[in-house]
Amino acid sequence: MKCFRCKRADMVTEVGMVDYTFSGLPYEVILVNAPVQRCPSCGEQVDAVPRPDELHRVLGLHIVEQAGRLVGAEVRFLRKLLNWSAKDLANVFGVDAKTVSRWENDKDPMGPVSERLLRLLVRDLEPVDGGTASWVMQSFPALSQAQGRHGPIRLEACDGRWSVAA
Ligand SMILES: [Zn+2]
């Protein structure tokens, strides 16, 4: 495939770092070892993130493991991961749509019970070792109402799977 910018050379596939802005999260999400198409002539880079659905699930599972309170953009990201509208979330959680909007726009924090339910729903998208009940026993007691950790998240493509990089 010729470079669409300079049209002088064929794009070559390399692996590199991608700053993944699509997530809409209020911190950096960095993809490590991600395949990118690069033009050897002008340096134009095209990120072709493979398996985006899996990537979003891995990112979502990582977010629900964090002990600090979820911020609004995380609530929105996790809701979209469930493929739910704000109205769907409001109906399931028994709150009105304005409440969901306040959660997602950081006007009000989600209550601890709602937050745990959301974490549980996201965790259940992909059954993981030990089952959900044992995960809940392990991780929920450690959750806190303290502000979350907002450092960058690094995800690595390795052996055909996305995982959280160390
Ligand atoms: Zn080029």
- How many A from CA of 1 to the centre of ligand 1? 11
Q: How far is CA 84 from CA 48, 64, 66, 121, 124, in A?
A: 26, 17, 22, 11, 15
Percent over 70 (pLDDT), the chain: 96
Q: 38: which strand partners? A: 12, 45
Question: What is the CATH class of 67-148?
Answer: mainly alpha
What is the largest distance, in Å, between two alpha-carbon atoms of the chain? 58
- How many A from CA of 39 to the centre of ligand 1? 5
- How many A from CA of 16 to the centre of ligand 1? 17
Query: What pLDDT, on the 0 to 100 scale, is given for residue 129?
Result: 66
Q: What ranges do the domains of the chain cover?
A: 1-51+149-166, 67-148
Residue 59 CA to residue 79 CA, distance in Å, equals 13
For the cut 90, the answer to whether the pLDDT of residue 98 exceeds it is yes
50-70 per-position pLDDT tens digit: 888 899 999 999 999 999 999
- How many A from CA of 100 to the centre of ligand 1? 45
For residue 99, what pLDDT band results from cuts at 50, 70 and 90? very high
For the cut 90, the answer to whether the pLDDT of residue 125 exceeds it is no
Domain 1-51+149-166 adopts which CATH fold? Answer: Ubiquitin-like (UB roll) (3.10.20)
- Three-class SS state of 29: strand
